[in-house]
Amino acid sequence: DVKVTQSSRYLVKRTGEKVFLECVQDMDHENMFWYRQDPGLGLRLIYFSYDVKMKEKGDIPEGYSVSREKKERFSLILESASTNQTSMYLCASSRSRVGSYEQYFGPGTRLTVT
């Protein structure tokens, strides 16, 4: 079974802190994604990566950056956390093109910025 793990289930940070969210997948998937999920807004794509050291902006990249130094690991970085980044963050991976392959999600990290 594909397993996508995220470093924390719950995280509380202060405004202005630099925050790292880690995601690891164990199935040698090419594609990895970071989403945030907010009530009434659904899932929104922050960044995605089709290969190591490759990244592309999603729909809401402002205030975030990412790093993919190894194929299995995709990190989301909040350079200076703000209260409007309080949200549920979900990582996902897929073997290749999402039109043709299922996307597997991690358990999510609920981040609160105070």
User: Closer CB to another protein, residue 15 or residue 112?
Assistant: 112
Instruction: Assess 100 for contact with another protein (CB under 8 A).
Output: yes
CA–CA separation, 112 and 8 (whole Å): 12
Instruction: Assess 90 for contact with another protein (CB under 8 A).
Output: yes
Measured CA to CA in angstroms, residue 57 lies from 15, 16, 26, 47, 114 at distances of 24, 22, 24, 5, 26
22-61 mask for another protein (x: CB under 8 A)?
------------------xxxx-x--x---------x---
CA–CA separation, 50 and 53 (whole Å): 9
Q: By CB under 8 A, name the binding residues for another protein.
A: 40-43, 45, 48, 58, 90, 92, 97-108
